[in-house]
Each structure stands twice: as structure tokens, then as C-alpha cells.
């Protein structure tokens, strides 16, 4: 399997585990050391495999039915990019916002970064309109795509 195929397979497995809410398993798709990261723009940076695990604990507690739909895929050596939509029901505390039961829908772009030498996934940079997400979580109205 060439580098691009390996990256695509790793990203697909990562997103599959997220869609199945297997939060303790998702970090296993990344390198298992201090190089691992998850940059959740603009929320913050989660560094090392422990930081990545912490982020997924937060997400898992806050969104019981999170689902990712991919609308576009781009791959180059060292980076795979996915665009799409995240939908979820707010069922637990999320960064100080208590569960509201609201449905949220937000567009995103995710950059999956890979190690050139090993081909292992180092981490993810997730870009989305976090303000729009927080607004949706604080209302019971049906969310619309941003």
C-alpha cells in the first residue's frame, strides 16, 4: 500500500471510530507518544496521546450521537484533508455549557497530519465555527448548516 492509500485508510478508520462513538479507540489511530496532537481551532491544543485521549473524553461525554459526513477529500503526502458536516445532540456538559438536548450541525475542515518517516498519523487540526456551535447548543431550535 502506498503512502496516500495508507493515509486514506487511517483517516477512514479514525472517522469510522468517531461515528461509532468508540472514543477510547479513536486515539489508537494516532502515534502513541508525545508527538500526538489534536488542535481544535479555536478551542485549544491537546498535546501528546494523553491530551488526545482527554479531548475524546470531553467529546464523548457531551455528544452521545455525534456523526461526521464527509463531502470532500484531498490527499497529499503527509496530509489528508476532509471537509464535511458534524451533527450531534448535546447530551452532556461541553466546555462549561450544560446539556441542552439541542441538535447541532456545523461544517468543518479537518487536516490529518502524518509522519513522513513512519507514515503514522501525528494528529488532527479541526477547523469549524465554534461560535455557531455554541449558539446551537444553547437553544432547542433545529440547527441549520453553517
CATH number at residue 70: 3.10.450.50
| Rounded (5°) CA angle 89-48-22 | 35
C-alpha cell at 48: 501528546
Count the Cβ atoms, other than its own, within 10 Å of residue 118.
10
* Residue 123 CA: distances (Å) to CA of 10, 44, 78, 120, 138: 11, 14, 11, 9, 30
| Rounded (5°) CA angle 8-10-13 | 105
Contact in structure between 123 and 52 (CB atoms under 8 Å): yes
CA dihedral 49, 52, 54, 57 (to 10 degrees): -120
Asked if residue 132 has pLDDT above 80, the reply is yes
pLDDT, one tens digit per residue, over 80-126 is 999 999 999 999 999 889 999 999 999 999 999 999 888 999 999 99
Residues 6+ apart with CB under 8 A from 83: 70, 71, 72, 73, 107, 108, 109, 110
145 within a domain of the structure (yes/no): no
Domain span including residue 103: 3-137
Per-residue confidence (pLDDT) for residue 146, from 0 to 100:
44
Indicate the pLDDT class of residue 142, thresholds 50, 70 and 90. very low
131 within a domain of the structure (yes/no): yes
142 within a domain of the structure (yes/no): no
22 within a domain of the structure (yes/no): yes
What is the reported pTM?
0.91
Per-residue confidence (pLDDT) for residue 141, from 0 to 100:
47
DSSP 28: G
Average pLDDT, the chain: 92
143 within a domain of the structure (yes/no): no
User: Whats the size of the chain, residue-wise?
Assistant: 146
Q: How many domains does the chain have?
A: 1
Q: Is the peptide bond before 42 cis (omega within 30 degrees of 0)?
A: yes
CA distance 25 to 69: 19
Amino acid at each position: 500500500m502506498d503512502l496516500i492509500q495508507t493515509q486514506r485508510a487511517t483517516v477512514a478508520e479514525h472517522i469510522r471510530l468517531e461515528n461509532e462513538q468508540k472514543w477510547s479507540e479513536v486515539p489508537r489511530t494516532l502515534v502513541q507518544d508525545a508527538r500526538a496532537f489534536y488542535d481544535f481551532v479555536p478551542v485549544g491544543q491537546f498535546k501528546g496521546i494523553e491530551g488526545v485521549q482527554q479531548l475524546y473524553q470531553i467529546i464523548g461525554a457531551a455528544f452521545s450521537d455525534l456523526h461526521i459526513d464527509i463531502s470532500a477529500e484531498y490527499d497529499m503526502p503527509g496530509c489528508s484533508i476532509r471537509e464535511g458536516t458534524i451533527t450531534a445532540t448535546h447530551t452532556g456538559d461541553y466546555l462549561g455549557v450544560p446539556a441542552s438536548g439541542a441538535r447541532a450541525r456545523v461544517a468543518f475542515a479537518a487536516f490529518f497530519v502524518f509522519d513522513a518517516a513512519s507514515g503514522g498519523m501525528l494528529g488532527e487540526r479541526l477547523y469549524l465555527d465554534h461560535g455557531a456551535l455554541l449558539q446551537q447548543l444553547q437553544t432547542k431550535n433545529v440547527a441549520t448548516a453553517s
